[in-house]
Structure 1
Amino acid sequence: MTAYAVGLLKDINMGPDIVQYLERIDATLAPYRGRFLLHGEKPEVLEGSLEQDVVVIEFPDLDHARAWYRSPAYHDILPLRTRNATSTVFLVDGLPADHLATDILA
């Protein structure tokens, strides 16, 4: 089942480290079939507040997402981001196409 890496980033210092991170991240995603669905877009907040930029990366499943995040290639560039942004990052499973809201009641 499709899985997602979600990042909520704020206080981003758009200096040389972030530029290098952005130049290198796509190569870390390719072996795990990851692709950006959202990348730094400012959401239109309809309820509550959200001060972060939103990043969503799609993977074929959680195993691919975990393997990417734990990969040496990604860990090599990770400090370029963590030193230059405040982040919350998590992995989450997607849902089947036929999911209904009431399915969580079962």
Structure 2
Amino acid sequence: MTAYALAHLRPQPPLHDDVFTYIERIQDTMDPFGGRFLVHSTVPEVVEGPFEGVYVLIEFPDMDRARDWYESDAYQEILPLRTDNIEGTAVLLNGVPDGYDAAATARARRAAQNA
């Protein structure tokens, strides 16, 4: 099942040069794990609630490869270039399987909650 690395970052200009070095090097850390950018530093169109910052969304073939990328020596080597200079949160998420049915999920969760 596809997995994602999602980051909500709150950069403050001017960006430190280390951030540009991080961006220049990140793709090489993702390639061995099948990672690809779906969203990169995109300012969202906010339709509900307050929001500050940008999003980054990276797709991986599965959670094992997403986790292996994040924990890899190559990524851990460059990670401080970002975390030392940009405040934010990053998470790894499983996607939903093909044929996912939100209504069926809601029914099952309702039944479990009411049991």
Same fold (TM over 0.5): yes
Q: How does 1:2-81 map to 2 (within 5 A)?
A: 2-12=2-12, 13-81=14-82
Q: TM-score, normalised by structure 2?
A: 0.88
Name structure 2 gaps, 5 residues minimum: 109-115
Q: CA deviation at 1:97?
A: 2.8
With over 3 angstroms needed to count, the CA separation of the structure-2 counterparts of 1:52 and 1:103, relative to structure 1, is farther
Larger Rg: 2
Partner SS state of residue 91, structure 1: strand
Partner SS state of residue 5, structure 2: strand
Q: CA deviation at 1:29?
A: 0.2
> Identical aligned pairs, as a percentage?
48
Q: CA deviation at 1:104?
A: 2.1
User: How many residues were matched structurally?
Assistant: 106
Q: TM-score, normalised by structure 1?
A: 0.95
Name structure 1 gaps, 5 residues minimum: none
* Amino acid of the structure 1 residue aligned with 2:9: L
* Amino acid of the structure 1 residue aligned with 2:97: P
Q: How does 1:64-103 map to 2 (within 5 A)?
A: 64-103=65-104
Q: CA deviation at 1:69?
A: 0.2
